[in-house]
Structure 1
Amino acid sequence: MFENLKAQPADKILALVQAYREDPRDTKIDLGVGVYKNADGVTPVMRAVKAAEKIVWEEQESKAYVSLTGDPAYSDAMIKLILGDAVARENVGAAATPGGTGACRQAFELIQMASPEARVFVSNPTWPNHISILNYLGIEVAPYRYFDSETRGVDFDGMIADLGQANAGDVVLLHGCCHNPTGANLNLIQWQAVIDLINEKNLVAMIDIAYQGFGDGLDEDAQATRLVASSVKECLIAASCSKNFGVYRERTGLLMAVSNDASQTALNQATLSFLNRQNYSFPPDHGARVVTTILNNPELCADWKAELEETRLSMLALRQQLADELQRLSGSDRFGFLAQHRGMFSRLGTTPEMVEKLRADHGIYMVGDSRMNIAGLNAKSVPILAKAIIDSGI
């Protein structure tokens, strides 16, 4: 049997990590992996997470399974965090998942179960794992224009034109905030236009929200997701706690199935339970319990929000510093988009050849499509990156 296996394509980001590690240059900069790092290059454990883990350690009396969809208190807390009061709780089915990736996988499986012929429209570009999982499941992928390589903003006209080709029942996958990999986001007027199109054509909305709190603030980053959930007939929402709680290795995610018909929720919830049972049975609990402890403890929640805000502002400061330095060196404002983008990532909008030149000549490591992790910078490395960009002729 094993001799029939075929080698799978290597993960480009993991290969980039290895190349970076083997590079002996002191001035090398890692802008590849999508993990937040502070000014010292460390991905810290947040203060509230440490405090919550201590509470869990002291109070938890059993490691028995919770339920197929995880602790209901975790679902309640996350739904409140993401949706606020935009949708009644009784209209939301939810299941804990192994990270945001697990939530996306379960959402795609639900789509396949409910509507086998549905296509999933994804932004061009999108997080590569979206397409990888869809292809693995045999679900047809339909790209829609999103990133304008000239303006480094959203090609909204192209997006609407492409989504206009969708058929009733097709799914539109949207990034709730801090678009990965581009950093370019829709404004609320544009979001409303997308919602109008979804309703007009009887499409299904799916939102991947992995960076809430990294863009303009916790509530601000959830605003579009809340607008969609409260405006469409039904939608799926895949959420991750990896970034905003810093619990990457705990694999803490949530999938929500939202319907404007509360009588549909019981079936949605049962389906989420079934899917969890088929894929991994009971979801991991430790990260979910830590998150629940933080969100339900006013003091811990306030400290978490304060540290998250520090993280957000530090990334905005790095964006502005890089944009300013590039303006100083180039004498133009053509890199101003870097200060306008939000979240961990920006797409520089250059060629794979230029990306390779940055790596070879300057030790700057970013993904081949020119996505760079802003959180991989610090105040000292920003001038190094800016000079490398200008010296490379970008």
Structure 2
Amino acid sequence: MSRILSHLHPQPEDQILKLTALFRDDPRPVKLDLGVGVYRNAAGQTPVMRAVKAAEKQLWQDETSKSYTSLAGDPGFHKVMRDLVLGDAVDHTRVAAAATVGGTGALSIALDLVKRAAPGATVWVSDPTWPNHVPIIGKCGLASNVYRYFDAENRAVNFSAMMEDLARVAPGDVVLLHGCCHNPTGANLTLPEWQEVARLLTQTGALPLIDLAYQGFGDGLEEDAAATRLVAAACPDTLIAASCSKNFGIYRERTGIVLAVTPDAAAQGVVQGNLAALNRLTYSFPPDHGARLVTMVLESPALRADWQAELEDIRTSMLGLRRQLADELRARTGSDRFGFLAQHRGMFSRLGAKPEQVARLRDEHGIYMVGDSRMNIAGLSPATVPALATAIAACGI
């Protein structure tokens, strides 16, 4: 009798999902979930964006077939996302693309492509990085290493240490970079620093892989794409994994794209064929519904204008929450040590609390955040910021 499945080992529980379950089961009427990385408005809801809702209604009326598109997804989606992410930074004939199952799928396909091209490559990730990065790298059969990135004491990028580590990257290795709104720290490189990184990658012969999950959540759509465009223009080849979950609010539609900037048009054809083949092996044809909505929004001047206006409201609301929290903490602690919150960008920041202080926030105040004190700024509202600030001060953080 076969007992193959009995050889499987239990998998570690996802800490964020565990936190979500603890929050759900907490009977206290006043509690705050700052763990899961989902945008919420002041009412605590994750709304369907107006332009997306309008596009869905139009699609329901006009769509005549649910047949497959192509192995790499719809070319119209490729075009609008290439333009959104890269603009005119590179010749479009050099860019291969494939629609994927979310930004996570884009990372997986990009790393599978690396595995095909350079199976001995090491993928370097920032310390810290998104918790799923290293497991995905391992799943794709690649080795990983870390480069220093965040100075936990100063809550800022340790750029000199980062550059020192990246100088040790071997030719043909991959450097995974956060295009904007670094997760989990919220601390980003400046454009001059990005220029130095691009120059170093070109010198070492390393391949940049840019995870662009939050375009539009930091300093604006164009501003958040500037670093990605800079690197793509400077390096002979670049991989980009872009997600539509946050900026279009279509989390459950799992919509993403992998873009590969190649040295020339001839290489583009080869890479495009490999991306299509990897999609075929992974899930045959990629899902189209979310990609179709994104395409419709970006192709329609009216829908695009409404989408950009709502996205800008989301972005500025998070900036407002950051400033409010920094101000409230200054008032309660008499210190400017939390000023970094107003300087960071995106959904996340690391508070700098010890695990036992994070536990106190949860147990004594009903405030849930990840054990390393990463908190989701978008889980706050103007009404809940004062309570958070009071709890942080009370826990001696």
Q: Deviations over 1:161-217 (max 9, x none)?
A: 111111111100000000001000000011011111101111100100000000000
Q: Give the match for residue 47 of structure 1.
A: 50
1:233 corresponds to which residue? 236
Query: Is residue 328 from structure 1 mapped to residue 327 from structure 2 by the alignment?
Result: no
Of the candidates 285, 290, 293, which is equivalent to residue 287 of structure 1?
A: 290
- The letter for the 1-side match of 2:148 is R
Map of 2:374 onto structure 1:
371
Distance, in Å, in 2 between the alignment partners of 1:382 and 1:203 is 43
Q: Which residue is 2:151 aligned to?
A: 148
Is 1:380 the counterpart of 2:393? The answer is no
SS at match of 2:272: helix
* Structure-to-structure mapping, 1:33-44, within 5 angstroms: 33-44=36-47
1:352 deviation in Å?
1.7
**Mapping for residues 1-394 of structure 1, pairs under 5 Å:** 1-394=4-397
- Equivalent position SS for 1:299: helix
CA–CA separation in structure 2 for the residues paired with 1:54 and 1:380: 34
Q: CA deviation at 1:26?
A: 2.2
- Quick one: which amino acid aligns to residue 201 of structure 1? T
> Per-residue displacement from partner, 1:57-85 (whole Å, max 9, x unpaired)?
11111000000000000000000011111
Measured after TM superposition, the shift of residue 134 of structure 1 is 1.2
CA distance in 1, matches of 2:201, 2:376: 32
CA shift digits 1:84-103 (9 cap, x unpaired): 11111111000000000000
Deviation larger for 20-29 or 43-52? 20-29
- CA offsets per residue over residues 121-155 of structure 1, 9 Å max, x none? 00011111111111223311110111111110101
How far is the alpha carbon of 1:378 from its aligned partner? 0.5
| Percent of matched pairs sharing the same residue | 61
Query: How much is the aligned-residue C-alpha RMSD, in angstroms?
Result: 0.7
CA separation in 1, counterparts of 2:234 and 2:30?
A: 49
Aligned counterparts of 1:216 and 1:271: Cα–Cα separation in 2: 34
**Whole-angstrom distance in 2 between the partners of 1:220 and 1:137:** 32
Secondary structure of the residue aligned to 1:128 is coil
Q: Which amino acid aligns with 1:224?
A: A
Instruction: Tell me the SS of whatever aligns to 2:256.
Output: strand
**TM-score, L = length of structure 2:** 0.98
Q: Which runs of 5+ in 1 are unaligned?
A: none
- In the alignment, is the contact (CA less than 8 A) between 2:184 and 2:350 conserved in 1? yes
Q: Structure 2: how far apart are the matches of 1:309 and 1:93? A: 29
Aligned residue type for 2:40 = K
Structure 1, residues 219-252: CA drift from partner, whole Å, max 9, x if none? Answer: 0000000001111010100000000000000010
The alignment's TM-score, normalised by the length of structure 1, stands at 0.99
CA shift, 1:350, in A, is 2.1
Kindly indicate whether the alpha-carbon contact (under 8 Å) linking 2:89 and 2:232 is maintained by their aligned counterparts in 1: yes
